[in-house]
Structure 1
Amino acid sequence: MGKRIKRWGPGLLLISPSLVVLAVFVYGLIAWTVKVSMSDEHDALGSKGFVGLKNYTDLFTNDINDRFTHSLKNLLIFTVVFVVGTMVLGLLWAFLLDRGVRAEGVFRTVYLFPMAVSFVASGVVWRWLMNSNTGDDAGGLNWIFGELHLGFLQNSWWTNPDWGMAAMAMPAIWQLSGYVMALFLAGFRGIPQELREAAVMDGTSTFQLYRHVIFPQLTPVALSALIIVGHMSMKMFDLIMSVSGAQWLTEVPAVYVWQALLTSDYAKAAAIAVLLLLFVAVLIVPYLVHTTRAERRS
């Protein structure tokens, strides 16, 4: 026992401040949020007692106008369009750069630049670009389409009640496709050149080379990009608030939490926050388990 303490003691002492901060400000606050979510603290007067899972069940069965399920539907549409868009564009750009282009550094910089812009700043710009006015009052993209005599492309963008959340994903796709491109490009460049040359020596075509040799090697990168982009979409707040503000058409759970806090409904806000945490955990935990097992096997 003494040898183990001597062996692990200095290391634990070194990281103990980080462990304390993590325990208090991450896991401690998560535990506090769970506690509040099981209370009846629906106003500024404080909690009067423990109600168990009632706040969670009310979100699905007793929420006014099914507001929470509506926000989940919006989040699902936003996430699907956002994830598919960033993955497809990121892979396409990385593939084109991997094939070799002149001034590759310039293209990499152009693709990565949007990532350096905050969601609030890009949201303000995209709010103007996605102006829903058409005809003589058109602005943003609708004005550009009108000037190009492509008026049939003018539409209401995020204000459309049917597919407005799909349009809302456009700014996020623009902002993060370059990041996904960087991940895939690193994956392309990490494949040994000898592997490519061996496949060519065996008579494989370019299509077969990418289909059977290179793309399968990118599976870990694709999974990592999917996890990162997916969990970012689930907690999207600043972009949506910058583009549309707090509106029924574009409300997602993160915006619902903010509005619940404005009305001092802390129990409801905490319940939604815990559900969001569970949704993210469902996405991330299997990936972490898979990565840990892969590292142990290697």
Structure 2
Amino acid sequence: MTQRIRRLGPPLLLLAPSLVLVGVFVYGLIGANFAKSVTDDHSAATANGVEPTSVVWFQNYTTLLKSEEFQHSLINLVLFTVVFLLGTLVIGFVWAWLLDKPIRGEGFFRSVYLFPMAVSFIASGVVWRWLLNSTQGEGASGLNRLFQMVGLDFLQNNWWNNVTFGILAITIPAIWQLSGYVMALFLAGFRGIPDELREAGRMDGASEWQVYRHVLFPQLTPIMLSALIIIGHMSLKSFDLIMSISKPANYQTKVPAVDMYLAKSSFDYANAAAIGTILLVIVALVIVPYLVKTNRQEK
């Protein structure tokens, strides 16, 4: 026992600062956030200590989930996540497949596809706010002006001001920005498959499509799963891109992260904390099964 403690001593000392920081600034703050979410702290007065707060347990959560506005935000989140995932996966895979051929100027095209990743969501959101301007006809700008110039006036629309599907317009810049990242993941997956597997498939009489379907695609399953987890959890937490395009926050483009910001801005700290906890649970439902599966595979 003494020897085991001596062996574990130095590693624990090295890990201790990180463990303390993670314990305080991650799990400690998660606990503090949950503690705030079960109180009746809904005003600036209680935040400043003028009125004492009391514990209401899960009343804030039930009120939020019954609210039509918050349900609308959750539906927007689901729509945004589904379209964002499908768009980035399809476009990223097609780009990776084309670059895997290989083609001339691969380095140039790879840089072009990856460049949007280097731009912050705030900066790209400012540009896309102009591109997705809802003005039509005289005075149109952005994409609506482009459609007008090429005679495709029927494609003009209100974009993110659309009452029904305004959130889907936000997926356009999101897909543009992260498709290159997914392309890099799939391209790395393609390049990691030994040429011997492809040649073996062709020697067995498989067509090019059959080689992809039965040899290459199964090898890319872990890459696709990783892309789903990474892009999925990013879409669930989307805030900066949405706010930079549709600020001030529109009802059409609201998601839970925007609701959390609005609640915090109006000193409704309890509901803001409750929304944060709901988002944490949603993200955990996506990530934890992936981590468990990965851990089992490593064992």
TM-score, normalised to structure 2's length?
0.96
Number of the residue aligned with 2:101: 99
Aligned with residue 48 of structure 1, among 44, 53, 60: 53
Query: Equivalent pairs: percent with the same residue?
Result: 61
Number of the residue aligned with 1:280: 283
Consecutive unaligned residues of structure 1, counting only runs of 5 or more, are none
Matched residues in 2 for 1:97 and 1:191: separation?
A: 15
Deviations 1:133-166 (A, max 9, x none): 1112111011111111111111111111122111
Number of the residue aligned with 2:77: 75
* Counterpart contact for 2:164–2:252, Cα < 8 Å: no
The one-letter amino acid of 2:165's match is W
How do residues 40-189 of structure 1 correspond to structure 2 at under 5 angstroms?
40-44=40-44, 45-46=46-47, 47-61=52-66, 63=67, 66-189=68-191
TM-score, normalised to structure 1's length?
0.97
Number of the residue aligned with 1:22: 22
Q: Number of aligned pairs?
A: 293
Number of the residue aligned with 1:190: 192
Aligned with residue 267 of structure 2, among 264, 267, 271: 264
Runs of 4+ in 1 over 4 A off after TM superposition: none
Asked if 1:10 is matched to 2:10, the reply is: yes
Compute the displacement of 1:8 (Å): 1.1
Matched residues in 2 for 1:247 and 1:151: separation?
A: 25
Compute the displacement of 1:86 (Å): 0.4
Number of the residue aligned with 1:229: 231
Compute the displacement of 1:237 (Å): 0.5
Asked if 1:289 is matched to 2:292, the reply is: yes
Compute the displacement of 1:249 (Å): 1.1
Compute the displacement of 1:218 (Å): 0.4
Deviations 1:246-268 (A, max 9, x none): 11111110010011011111000
Matched residues in 1 for 2:26 and 2:270: separation?
A: 19
The one-letter amino acid of 1:250's match is T
The one-letter amino acid of 1:275's match is I
Consecutive unaligned residues of structure 2, counting only runs of 5 or more, are none
* Counterpart contact for 2:73–2:255, Cα < 8 Å: yes
Report the RMSD for the aligned CA atoms in angstroms: 0.9
What SS does the corresponding residue of 2:252 show, helix, strand or coil?
A: coil
The one-letter amino acid of 2:261's match is W
